[in-house]
Every structure is written in C-alpha cells, then in structure tokens.
A = this chain, B = another copy of it.
C-alpha cells in the first residue's frame, strides 16, 4: 500500500493506515467489520471514487496484505505515533498523513468526517493505539505494588501474645539442620524420620510441658498449644505424631486416669520413653463413638479385665502410632461388669514389648499409604482375649470396687460418656490451630509468589504481577482475612478452655466443635485456592502446598467429622430454645414470635436495608448486627421448624433429618458471629495505631466476605435489598485491592521460619 500512487497523490489517505493495520493484525476480520469500514470509506466525501475504490481494495479479505506489508506499515505508523500525544487511531493517522505532506487545513476538515473510528468499529478507544506507542501507558493496575503501612514485628507480637518466648524456642529447634524435610515417598524412612524428630522435641521438654510438675512437666497447657501451632509450620506428620503421643495418649491417661496412672505413665509418655496410642475409632464406629463394640470384661476372681474384639469390623482403625512404634494404648471399650454393660470405658493395654514385638493376643495391620501424613504409622488393632490387670482401667469417672462392683459418681451412662469425652476437647483446639498454621504457610507462599510472578500486561507495557489482578485478589485476600480472624478466635477458645469451669463446659464444647469445623474447612479451602493460584508451581512438591493440603485434608474428619460437629453445635444452641419454648403455651409462643417480628421491623428499617454509604458498609456495628440477626433468625426458624414437624406427628429422628441442612447453618451462623466479635474486640484492643488500621481493614474484609457469601439469605429475609448487596460486593473488591498492598507484610508477620516455609516460589529453599 505504502508505495501506491494514490498515497503519493493524496497523502491524506495515510490517515487510514492505522485503521487498516489494526483490523488486519486483529485475530479475526469479520464480514460485519468489513462492511462497517466500507461504509465509513463511502461516507468520506472528500475522497474521489477512485480513492474510495483503492481503499476498499485494502480491506478485501481475499487480498490480504503480506507479512512484510504489515511489518512495514507498523514501523511507519510507529514513527507517527511517537510524535503525537493523541491516543486514537485517527490522531495517529493524521499525524502520519501530516508527515507525508498532507496539508493541515484540509486535514482538519477530513478529521471531522472520519469521526471516532474506534467507536464506529466498537474498538476500545486508545487500546488499538497502544500497539504503536510503547512505554506511554500508565494503567493503575500496572502501578499497584506492595506498600507496607504497619510494623511487621509489632504485628508478630500481637499475634504471638504471651506465647512469644515458647514460639521462639520452638522455631529455634526447628531451624536445626536435623529438621530438614525429607522426601515422603519412602514410608519406612519417612516414618523413622518423624519418630526421630518427635524424640528431638521430647528431649527439649516440649512433650511433657502440659503435665503436672510432679511428673516432670510444667503444668503449662497454654504453651503446649502454642508448641503444636508453631510445629505446624513444619511437617504436619510430625505435628500429628507429637499430638498422638503427648496429646491423645498422654492426655487420656492424664484426664481419664488417676494418680496411680499419672505416677506410672506420665513421665515416660512425656519423654517418649513409652510411645502409645489412642485407640478409640473402630471400623464400624467412627463418628458414633458411643457405639464401639470392643469389650472390656471384668473378671473378679483374677481382678483382670479382658479386652476383646468381637468381630473384624470392631477392630480399632486409623490408630496413629499403632503400625510401628506404639507400645501401649488407651483402648475405648464397653465395660462389662457382672454381665452388665456400663457403657464406654478407657483401659490401658500394652501392645508391644520394648523390642517392638507385638504381644500375644494383639494383631496389628498397617493402614499403609494415605493421602497425607505418611510420616505417621496408622494401624488397625485387633484384640483377642487380651487380659490386663484391673488397675489399667482409667478410673477417674468409673471404678471397680474391691468387691468387684461397678461404681461411678455419675449414674447415667450417657452423662458419664459425655463427661469423659468432654475432657478430651483439647484435641478440638489443637487441630484447628494446626490447620491455621498450615493455612498461613499456604498463604505466605501463594501471596509472596503472586507479588513477584508477572503474567500478561497492557498492550505496549511490561507484564503485571498477578496479585494486581482483581480475580487473584478476590481469591486470596479473603482467606488472608480469615486466618487473621481465626487466629484471634482460636486464641479466645484456648483461653476459655484453660480457664474452664464445670458449668461452662457445654458452651466450650460447642465452641470448640464449631471452631474446629469452621477452621479446618477453611484450611482445606485456603490451601486448595493457594494451589490453584500458584498454577503449575503450586503442584510441584518442592513448593510444599501439596503436603500442606494433603496432610491437613483429614482435619475436617478427625476429632469429629465437621458436618456431624456442626449439628452438635446446633443441638447445643437449641437447648436454649428447648427451655424457652417449654414454658410457653400457645399464647406465649405467639407473643415470642411477635417479639421476634418487632425486632425484625426495627432492623428492617427501609433506610438501613438500602444503605450503601461507605461508612455504613465498613461499620463494625453494621457487621455485628447483621451477623447477630442471622444467628438469631436461623436458630429461631430451625427451632420453630423442628417443633412444627414434631407437632405434625413426624418422627423426631425424621424431623431432625429433614432439618439437617438448616441445622448446619445454625452452627455456622453461631461460629461466624463469635469469630467476628472476637476480631472486632481485637481491633479495639490493639494499641499500635498502624496495626490497628490494617486489622480493622481485615476485619471488615472478613465481615463483608461472609455477608457476600450469605447474601442470598439476607435478600430472602429482606434484611438487605439488592442495591446494598451489590454495594457490599463492590466494597469487598475495593478492600481486596487495598489489602493487597499490605498482603506481603501481613504474611511476613506470621514469622514462619524460612527453613519451614522452604518453598522456592516464596523465595526460600
């Protein structure tokens, strides 16, 4: 085209060149594009027919320009583009025409006739021009970068709180080259390594720390949890091995046993001289522990207890430490005394001698490879008439008297069972805290990587860090807010547990069950998102997300299946209502419902349900009100629904089944409200102003993300109108954009040791 006589005689025709280049270099030149351009050409009355025909010939799909033509055109156009600040194809075209000698006065007329080419063709204005103008672009997306607004060490102090010292100590130990990760493929080597690591930790006094001083411990349960949480930055098999030994096995002896057991076992357990197991789950009874079928039959003449597995499906299953290292186990079994079944008891049963040989009557099968946690040797245990002295009965809550009778201060089997289980609630604190650390590791890796990793970019400008993309922010920032939120609520749970009083146990158990479910589901979702956000790099084992995900995946199952736990939480919340409804006759219930409606009317103020002001959307009061409204409303409606079904004659088991999905929501609404409240408290109690400011933002992000997730419900209730839920979504995206700038410092505040993080994509090997 460039050398055509038409251009020589009328250099104004150069004005079309950027347009032609653009349509030809575009991926597709559609028939409708062709006809649009033809129409445009036909409208240029300043052109001769001949010139119009010439221009038509330049967009004939059967006569495309050659590769060289296009290259030459581009170079020519670039020269013009460099000499104009105009960003439209017409601007550049006229500059080009001008450079080739077109007369300015005429050009001015023609410019009007050409109008806005981009708009006519439906191009995005300026976009096409960037093809020719390199280095001139300054999009906001490109410029966004890490901009730290707070002191990282100050934030770490807030997170670590009074556990700072023990956390530092654990990190120092983990930093030792002995703790370098090994390939998890070879089961025997991996399991041996994890055992060795556990010994090293025991040698540091970490295992015994929670036990009473008289047995070598420090009576420091708080530090025990902090150790678990910090170890969880390292290999999760190690954490579970540690937890099985010092938590499950040790605590069962500590909490279910009495002084004679403490004296005999605790020191050896705490120093890992006596590796043991916690043998509760059976093949046919997992969630329903009350149904275990293993029997522990008392024989008065010999003062022994016979532990027996009545059939293959009553074998203990998934028992950590059982396949190789456990020498002893706390076995949960039905206690039979004088032929009567007194419900579940716990009894200590030796499994192996010091050399590791399985004892007579004990048959152990290795569970083999698992999705994760392959450094832990899980096994199935079968007992064939195994006899142990009666002293092995952990007898805090039930005893066999000298004359061979069963005795307990808790007469009800049911109540005794739940009291025993209640003492073991600590496991439901350790697991979510371990999952929290794994989530932090995943986010530290994914966020550090996304801040560095560049991919795609605007035409004519460098590629952009993927963390600058809105979808990437929306995928990661809410999870970052969640781990901060959960950090504080798990601290709160721990404190409640450490200071527990008898009459608070029901509440604390519900809290632990619910937070365990919420936090471990969140860990699974977080790590899945981190994996995907790191693309292929996230799939490589060297970057550790696979191990974090696979090792913690079972957290949603163990210490109680999450779905079952959320129903427990709901049932616990409903007991409140059980009483409330109990005292009411029909009139009372009607009044109650009317009261509820009144509250609703106040909150369902037409101004509030449509309020989309920024200050309101960011107001913690609004968040708290909305979360509380949801909690109360869902709980009430679940209670009413159950009552209605039962009043209608539905079997109560069916009524609960029909309402199961609703009940799980009751659990969620309760837990989410608690998590929000504890986060708001933390924000209010934070003295450091910069830390407070970013925590406040994270808290709002947590709240708005939940509100957005539950917007269907809020809209159904009429608590918000569409205009408000849309505004929430917009604000949520805005918060993600803002938090992104502090995201790297926020994950650095977790202060995860490099040797633990150990992911090349996070800059640590």
CA distance A528 to B652 in the complex (A): 31
Q: Is A27 a contact partner of B141 (Cβ separation < 8 A)? A: no
Q: Is B579 a contact partner of A646 (Cβ separation < 8 A)? A: no
**B-chain residues with CB within 8 Å of residue A291 when the two chains form the complex:** 463
A189 smallest CB distance to B (angstroms): 10
CA distance A582 to B33 in the complex (A): 10
CA distance A368 to B546 in the complex (A): 13
Residue of B nearest to A453 (CB): B284
CA distance A539 to B33 in the complex (A): 56
Q: Is B654 a contact partner of A141 (Cβ separation < 8 A)? A: yes
CA distance A469 to B120 in the complex (A): 59
Q: Can you show 15 pairs from A to B with CB atoms below 8 A apart?
A: A27-B415, A69-B411, A124-B642, A124-B652, A140-B654, A141-B657, A284-B454, A291-B463, A370-B541, A370-B546, A461-B653, A471-B661, A546-B550, A550-B550, A716-B726
Q: Is A318 a contact partner of B536 (Cβ separation < 8 A)? A: yes
Q: Is B536 a contact partner of A317 (Cβ separation < 8 A)? A: yes
CA distance A545 to B454 in the complex (A): 34
Q: In the complex, given contacts A25-B413, A140-B654, A459-B653, what are 15 additional A-B residue pairs having Cβ atoms less than 8 angstroms apart?
A: A27-B414, A28-B415, A69-B411, A70-B411, A124-B646, A185-B185, A285-B455, A286-B536, A287-B535, A291-B463, A371-B531, A457-B653, A471-B661, A536-B557, A712-B712
A68 smallest CB distance to B (angstroms): 8
CA distance A291 to B36 in the complex (A): 32
Interface size class of A (residues with CB under 8 A): 35 or more
Tell me if A542 is interfacial: C-beta within 8 Å of chain B: yes
Residue from the list B411, B546, B558, B711 in contact with A66, Cβ < 8 A: B411
**B-chain residues with CB within 8 Å of residue A470 when the two chains form the complex:** 657-658, 660-661
Report A's interface with B, CB cutoff 8 A. Answer: 24-28, 30, 32-33, 36, 64-67, 69-71, 119-127, 137-142, 183-187, 281, 284-288, 291, 317-318, 340, 342, 367-372, 406-408, 410-415, 418, 454-459, 461, 463, 468-472, 474-475, 506, 524, 528, 531-532, 535-536, 538-542, 545-546, 549-550, 553-554, 556-558, 561-563, 567, 577-583, 642, 646, 651-655, 657-658, 660-661, 664, 711-712, 715-718, 722, 725-726, 733
A414 smallest CB distance to B (angstroms): 5
**B-chain residues with CB within 8 Å of residue A418 when the two chains form the complex:** 27
CA distance A33 to B410 in the complex (A): 18
A666 smallest CB distance to B (angstroms): 13
State whether A660 and B469 are in contact (beta carbons under 8 Å apart), knowing that A539-B371, A579-B122, A716-B722 are contacts in the complex: yes
Q: Is B415 a contact partner of A651 (Cβ separation < 8 A)? A: no
- Give chain A's interface secondary structure class: helix
**B-chain residues with CB within 8 Å of residue A579 when the two chains form the complex:** 30, 32-33, 122
**B-chain residues with CB within 8 Å of residue A30 when the two chains form the complex:** 579
A724 smallest CB distance to B (angstroms): 9
State whether A411 and B531 are in contact (beta carbons under 8 Å apart), knowing that A124-B652, A318-B536, A722-B718 are contacts in the complex: no
CA distance A183 to B406 in the complex (A): 49
Q: Is B127 a contact partner of A408 (Cβ separation < 8 A)? A: no
**B-chain residues with CB within 8 Å of residue A36 when the two chains form the complex:** 582-583
From A463, A471, A472, A583, residue with most partner B Cβ within 10 Å: A471
Q: Is A368 a contact partner of B540 (Cβ separation < 8 A)? A: yes
Q: Is B371 a contact partner of A546 (Cβ separation < 8 A)? A: yes
CA distance A71 to B506 in the complex (A): 26
**B-chain residues with CB within 8 Å of residue A410 when the two chains form the complex:** 64
Q: Is A26 a contact partner of B66 (Cβ separation < 8 A)? A: no
CA distance A370 to B537 in the complex (A): 9
State whether A140 and B651 are in contact (beta carbons under 8 Å apart), knowing that A66-B411, A541-B370, A715-B716 are contacts in the complex: yes
State whether A67 and B712 are in contact (beta carbons under 8 Å apart), knowing that A458-B651, A651-B137, A658-B470 are contacts in the complex: no
Q: Is A554 a contact partner of B539 (Cβ separation < 8 A)? A: yes
Residue from the list B26, B468, B536, B542 in contact with A554, Cβ < 8 A: B536
**B-chain residues with CB within 8 Å of residue A64 when the two chains form the complex:** 410-411
Q: Is B369 a contact partner of A65 (Cβ separation < 8 A)? A: no
CA distance A468 to B656 in the complex (A): 12
Residue of B nearest to A557 (CB): B535
Q: Is A26 a contact partner of B414 (Cβ separation < 8 A)? A: yes
**B-chain residues with CB within 8 Å of residue A540 when the two chains form the complex:** 367-371
A149 smallest CB distance to B (angstroms): 22
Q: Is A563 a contact partner of B506 (Cβ separation < 8 A)? A: no
Residue from the list B126, B455, B474, B562 in contact with A288, Cβ < 8 A: B455
**B-chain residues with CB within 8 Å of residue A284 when the two chains form the complex:** 454
Residue of B nearest to A141 (CB): B657
Q: Is A70 a contact partner of B370 (Cβ separation < 8 A)? A: no
Q: Is B725 a contact partner of A712 (Cβ separation < 8 A)? A: yes
Q: Is A126 a contact partner of B652 (Cβ separation < 8 A)? A: yes
**B-chain residues with CB within 8 Å of residue A125 when the two chains form the complex:** 646, 652
Residue from the list B33, B474, B661 in contact with A733, Cβ < 8 A: B661
Residue from the list B468, B557, B651, B725 in contact with A657, Cβ < 8 A: B468
